Amino acid sequence: MPIFQTEGIVLQSRNFSETSKILVVFTRDKGVVSILVKGGRKGNKKFPGGLETLNRIDLQYYHKQARELQNFKSFDLIDSFQGFRENLSRLYTALSLAETVLRCTASEDQNEALYISLIAALEAIDQQESSPWTIRWKSLLEFCKYLGFGMALEDCSKCGSKSDIAAFDLQSGGFLCRKHTENKPSVINVSGELWGTLRFLAQCNYSAAPRMNVNSTTGRRIETLFKQYYLYHIPGLKTPESWKKLQEIYWVREE
């Protein structure tokens, strides 16, 4: 059986039987792959840690076409992102991005741009101590682009105006000025501040994202917008559990 080697991020790691584990890994070269690790449960001397969720690993497995569960061979740890593990808000931000990839991509659907974007996001959350939500929103902007439904943030998608932006069309992914706001179910009201925040995040790099100062009202509106937008475009998607959890974590201090 051919051995396949690629690097990947562990999206999920769960116990399977008394001794084994199933890893769900988002790989650079094969997309999301499920791997059975015999004898891989914690405490086993063969695997002294390293197969935990959110670890970046270099992975070898026995690849068989059209098989749902592949067999593990070996791995090397590339990065365990120790920077964000101790902080609830940053850890859940990272988990929410992993869950987004898990829920929004099909098995073995290669998406290298999405992979590179996820790595950049995890590195930023690992290194930046403040405002992880800005990195999350920047990531969600990048992810939807690589999932095929990017937002057009430049200006009003009808007239090119950059002033008085008042609405967003979930269907087209375009923003609309007050004059061109349409009355149809996919159009929702947004504030100019929300639009400006997302516009900044789309243009900056990951390390600069936390410089954007956002109040909790706008923050909640941005979260709602992403939720509606992803649910609109990904068939069968329900709000990921980690997204719900973040609403309790992010804005508590200001209430």
Q: Is 30 in the site for Zn ion (CB under 5 A)?
A: no
According to DSSP, the residues that pair with 37 across neighbouring strands are: 21
Window 196-225: contact mask with Zn ion (x via CB under 5 A):
------------------------------
Nearest to 8 by CA among 103, 91, 75, 93: 75
In whole angstroms, the minimum distance from the beta carbon of 194 to Zn ion comes to 17
Q: Is 172 in the site for Zn ion (CB under 5 A)?
A: no
Question: Which range of residues in 28-36, 75-83, 158-166, 186-194 is near Zn ion by CB under 5 A?
Answer: 158-166
Q: Is 158 in the site for Zn ion (CB under 5 A)?
A: yes
User: What is the SS3 string spanning 142-184?
Assistant: HHHHHCCCCCEEEEECCCCCCCCEEEEECCCCEEEEHHHCCCC
In whole angstroms, the minimum distance from the beta carbon of 176 to Zn ion comes to 6
Q: Which is nearer to Zn ion, 69 or 159 (CB)?
A: 159
In whole angstroms, the minimum distance from the beta carbon of 65 to Zn ion comes to 50
How many residues bind Zn ion (CB under 5 A)? The answer is: 6
Question: Which range of residues in 85-93, 105-113, 175-183, 194-202 is near Zn ion by CB under 5 A?
Answer: 175-183
- Select the residue interacting with Zn ion from 30, 63, 180, 221 (CB under 5 A): 180
* DSSP string for residues in the chain: --EEEEEEEEEEEEEETTTEEEEEEEETTTEEEEEEETT-STT-TT--S--STT-EEEEEEE--TT-SEEEEEEEEEEE--HHHHT-HHHHHHHHHHHHHHHHHS-BT---HHHHHHHHHHHHHHHH--S-HHHHHHHHHHHHHHHTT---EEEEETTT---S-EEEEETTTTEEEEGGG---STTEEE--HHHHHHHHHHHHS-GGGGGGS---HHHHHHHHHHHHHHHHHHSTT----HHHHHHHHHHSGGG-
Question: Which range of residues in 6-14, 95-103, 132-140, 148-156 is near Zn ion by CB under 5 A?
Answer: 148-156
Q: Which is nearer to Zn ion, 179 or 244 (CB)?
A: 179
Q: Is 156 in the site for Zn ion (CB under 5 A)?
A: yes
Q: Which of residues 225-254 bind Zn ion (CB under 5 A)?
A: none
In whole angstroms, the minimum distance from the beta carbon of 181 to Zn ion comes to 8
Question: Which range of residues in 43-51, 76-84, 153-161, 192-200 is near Zn ion by CB under 5 A?
Answer: 153-161
Q: Is 161 in the site for Zn ion (CB under 5 A)?
A: yes
- Select the residue interacting with Zn ion from 159, 211, 215, 241 (CB under 5 A): 159
What does the binding site for Zn ion look like in residue numbers (CB under 5 A)? 156, 158-159, 161, 177, 180
